[in-house]
Amino acid sequence: MKFLLSVLILAAVSASSLRAQTPGRNPGLADYEELLAAEPQSVASGPELTLDEAERIALAANPEIALAARRLAAAEAHIPVAGALDDPVAMYRGWGVPLAQPWNFNDAQNMFSVSQALPGAGKRALRTSLARSDVDVAQAQLDEVRLQVRVAVRKAFDNLLLAGQELRIHDEHVRIARQAIEAARIKYAVGKVSQQDILKAQVALTALEEHMIRFDRDADVARARLNTLLGRDAAAPLTARGRFTVLGPLPALPVLEQAALASRPDLVAARDSAQRSHQEQALAKKAFTPDFTVAGGYMLMQPTARMRNGYMIEGSMSLPWLNRRRNDAAIAEATARSTEQDAELAELRNAARGQIGEALAEAQAAQRFALLYHDKLLPQAEATLQSSVIAYENDRTDFLDLLDSQMTVIDTDLAWAQAVENFNARLADLELATGATLDQPQATAPEVKP
């Protein structure tokens, strides 16, 4: 590329000796003059964020994470409630109030008592254990939301980074294309190339402007998505700061599967839900353990009674054996739910293995594409362009061949950036399927070249 620039600059310098002989500029090149005078496009301004900074802001300010955190707090607050006793019950009872004198409580037997229900042995402990299981499930769901947000932030950040890189590549190649057209115009002035070639070059330069529509759209969409994930106004200015790289060898499938079984949030939540269903089953089996109620109170007897003051002690017990049909049905229902949760956990684990396998295959293919562009296609395209420049300066090829070589380099540069961004997206999908960050050594892959 440096060689190309030096050749084109020398050609532009030689133009000063020809301008005195150049006839008036052809009216058909007016649009071309306007294109040459246009300023390069610039990347949108705004505060710069690295990927780590964006992830940190999202984990602290994302509304979806905040909602999941409040659900966890609500589950934690329920633990002391689940194992607590029912409220005591205060009671007044008036016995023997005369119907002829319903206000005459002096002739009645007045009783004041307080009672307390006592669940059967082990029931309170199981209810507390169920509440703690709800906390574990809520924690796993919070971890899952955090993972999903982090992956979404990474994809949006990479999209914004790609859009900025595409703009820089576009601006640089527009400058190079202008210099190439200027050099061709010098040859046109002395009759070495036709006006048709110049006009075709103008069309090619104009076609570069078509890229800007897509690049601007991609940048705006990625910026709005990233701002939303960060809990900010979607239209707030923002610029991604970083570089595209390709990781070294990806982990093997068995390693990823083992990591998923240990740390993937939805599998952890399903496992906790299965454990909770077994605790519900154990609590249902406690249905045949009787519950008790104890009460004590003060009794004010009628004035005619030999002893005016007294007290009362009362105890009651449920009889679950007399309602066996209902309790057996409740146990059967809890057992069915338990087996359903076990089956759901097995299905999720099997689906996770498939998702990991697919994501790994996609990531490996994307990595090979990126390395292919970097190691082979980019050097080959640049070598072809350099050869075309030399041949063009020595009148051994025409301008359109030079233009084709230039466009090939542009397309390859953009394809390289898109290939690396696609690899990063597939890597994020693999992390989502695994539920763990893949911290691998980075391979030698320099920043995307403008």
Angstrom distance (rounded) from CA 25 to CA 191: 14
42-46, 118-122, 195-199, 403-407: the lowest-pLDDT one: 42-46
Share of the chain above pLDDT 90, in %: 25
- Kindly report which listed range (114-123, 130-139, 175-184, 238-247) carries the lowest average pLDDT score: 175-184
243-252, 367-376, 390-399 — which one is most confidently predicted on average? 367-376
- At 327, list the tokens: 């309790």
DSSP states of 392-413 as a string? HHTTSS-HHHHHHHHHHHHHHH
> pLDDT tens, 360-380?
999 999 988 888 888 888 888
pLDDT at 249 over 80: yes
Neighbours of 34 (CB within 10 A): 10
What token pair was written down for 250?
A: 């990806």
Kind and range of the H or E run holding 49: strand 48-49
Tell me if 281 sits within 8 A of 332, measured CB to CB: no
Specify the pLDDT at position 1. Answer: 43
pLDDT of 208 above 60? yes
How much is the pLDDT for 393?
A: 72
Q: What was the pLDDT predicted at 17?
A: 34
Predicted pLDDT at 299? 86
- How high is the pLDDT of residue 390? 81
Tens digits of residue pLDDT in 253-308: 999 988 888 888 989 889 898 988 999 899 899 888 999 999 989 888 877 777 77
Residues 6+ apart with CB under 8 A from 389: 3, 4, 7, 8, 402, 405
How crowded is residue 370: how many other Cβ atoms within 10 Å of its Cβ?
26
pLDDT higher than 80, residue 87: yes
Q: What is the mean pLDDT of residues 405-421?
A: 82
Residue 96 near residue 109 (C-beta atoms within 8 A): yes
Domains of the chain: 54-434 (1.20.1600.10)
Question: Is 3's pLDDT higher than 60?
Answer: no
- DSSP track, 154-181: HHHHHHHHHHHHHHHHHHHHHHHHHHHH
What is the per-residue pLDDT for 28?
Answer: 41
What does pLDDT average to over the chain? 80
* pLDDT band (50, 70, 90) for residue 138: very high
Answer left, alpha or beta for residue 96, where phi above 0 means left and psi between -120 and 50 means alpha: left
The gap from C-alpha 13 to its chain's centroid, in whole angstroms, comes to: 53
Percent of the chain with pLDDT over 70: 81
Per-residue confidence band for 46, with pLDDT thresholds at 50, 70 and 90: low
Give me the pLDDT at residue 228, please.
92
CA distance 161 to 218: 10
Top pLDDT among 324 and 190 is at 324
**pLDDT digits over 310-345, tens only?**
888 889 999 999 988 998 999 999 999 999 999 999
Per-residue pLDDT averaged across 125-145, rounded?
Answer: 91
Residue ranges of the alpha helices (H) in 230-304? 253-263, 265-285
Predicted confidence at residue 77, as pLDDT, reads 93
pLDDT of residue 246: 72
Instruction: Give the pLDDT mean for 118-144.
Output: 90
pLDDT at residue 24 above 60? no
Q: pLDDT confidence of 443, banded at 50, 70, 90?
A: very low
Band the pLDDT of 201: cuts 50, 70, 90: low
pLDDT one-digit tens code per residue, 77-86: 999 998 898 8
* pLDDT band, residue 417 (cuts 50/70/90): confident
For residue 135, pLDDT beyond 80: yes
Instruction: Report pLDDT for 442.
Output: 44
Q: Which of the pair, 46 or 356, is modelled with greater confidence? A: 356
β-bridge mates for residue 116, sequence order: 294
Mean pLDDT of 350-362: 92
Higher pLDDT, 438 or 119: 119
